[in-house]
Structure 1
């Protein structure tokens, strides 16, 4: 993982400094959430965790100093049972995942934070994070709780960024490009494989970023023999840098909005 992944996070600060940040009006704790699962033969198993953390940091780096935000170390274990057939995957049960998220919110509330936002890097976490935020929100109505998949923030810009029309995100062009831009040493470009994501139901959507109203469960080995979906051969560091720039700008905007909203409520 990135050498600076834990710099200037909760992990490196004494408790008094954390309490000071949390006590400022409109304070936000941002928690990257990833997974430890196979990402094809060319990317590391920690891809989702590495990229969620990089996206979160790109957002905080664009904020003014008057926005009190603290970045937590990432949650590296996600909900990934559909990746188990390939090996190299660690997953947790859905209730364990939800309990972990709600416990983190409890602890953040105890320290005095006004808001917690979870920056998600793994599609399999989406529904569970939404549920966990709803549960924790009911227990902490005084806090502003939110979650988002960082790539979803690209919206329609994703079509302008991608060089390939091959559907599929897992280990595909965007994730590979992002890894090439921040940790090229962890990308084995000689082992990339192209596997378009194929959905037999039109209303199920093309891929993670182009979903439809129908949700269908399948083990990941039903989609691909190598664990990759999409066209990683089209990836480039330039595409990754542009993607991270846009994601960072969007995350900063989200955080600024949360800060202003919470500060207005508290005042």
Structure 2
């Protein structure tokens, strides 16, 4: 459990059962569920990077929306769907159906406390389709609840051109984007001298180029076919200052989403 999760004013884990029920039964209340992964991120970032960042952004957005919305952030779902990383080591992964069942169960039981809305905040690209399915399943089973899912780094699309220095492909797995955020939030867990990465080389012109440049074509390859180190992008361009700017803007973007969820859930 991270220090941020223990001490945050919006942390589910720090509340008593009575407090959780009081917050959940308030009009327009929202429960936020961070979803990450434990998977290799090259030689310079820890395997919990996706979980750490999804959790941190979730708390940041929730704290900024807390004056307007009754909400809580659950402990993160730390295991994602990462079969493409397994061969490089260090990765823990669930089966797709197991992750979907886990997300639905977390939402089902959280909603028993009276919440009017639920938001899954995903931090791992390989979870994106599962998040979409979880939204459909939870929404079907709870028709009176506003159910939303998003991948946090996609919230940066409107402003990323003001921050990034890398070419397309430079903000991929363990690249400029994630490394900057980790330098800002968890510098003690970043080893920049080991930041060995390469730009994404994907033969399909219409495939995604990095975290912020999507595409219409998806394919499957073991990760070592893209990168011998396990990292893709340009972490050499990452800075603490970029990470602070990204984190601030991402928090504001997520707060706006959470306010909208609450308004829709009234």
SS in 2 for 1:205: coil
Q: Per-residue deviation at 1:205?
A: 2.9
Greater shift, 91-100 or 151-160, is seen at: 151-160
Q: Per-residue deviation at 1:6?
A: 2.8
Match of 1:102 in 2: 104
CA distance in 2, matches of 1:28, 1:156: 25
Q: Per-residue deviation at 1:67?
A: 1.1
CA distance in 1, matches of 2:60, 2:73: 11
8 Å CA contact 2:36, 2:78 repeated in 1: yes
Any unmatched runs of 5+ in structure 1? none
Match of 2:4 in 1: 4
Q: Per-residue deviation at 1:66?
A: 3.9
Match of 2:56 in 1: 54
Match of 2:140 in 1: 138
Root mean square deviation of aligned Cα:
1.2
Q: Per-residue deviation at 1:166?
A: 5.0
8 Å CA contact 1:2, 1:183 repeated in 2: no
* TM-score after normalising by structure 1: 0.95
From 210, 219, 235, give the equivalent of 2:238. Answer: 235
SS in 1 for 2:140: helix
8 Å CA contact 2:68, 2:259 repeated in 1: no
CA distance in 1, matches of 2:24, 2:78: 24
Structural mapping, 1:4-43, within 5 Å: 4-8=4-8, 9-43=11-45
8 Å CA contact 1:166, 1:231 repeated in 2: no
Q: Per-residue deviation at 1:194?
A: 2.8
CA distance in 1, matches of 2:245, 2:211: 20
8 Å CA contact 1:55, 1:150 repeated in 2: yes
Q: Per-residue deviation at 1:158?
A: 1.4
SS in 2 for 1:31: strand
CA distance in 2, matches of 1:242, 1:111: 35
CA distance in 2, matches of 1:63, 1:10: 15
Aligned residues: 263
Any unmatched runs of 5+ in structure 2? none
Structural mapping, 1:122-201, within 5 Å: 122-165=124-167, 167=169, 168-201=171-204
SS in 1 for 2:6: coil
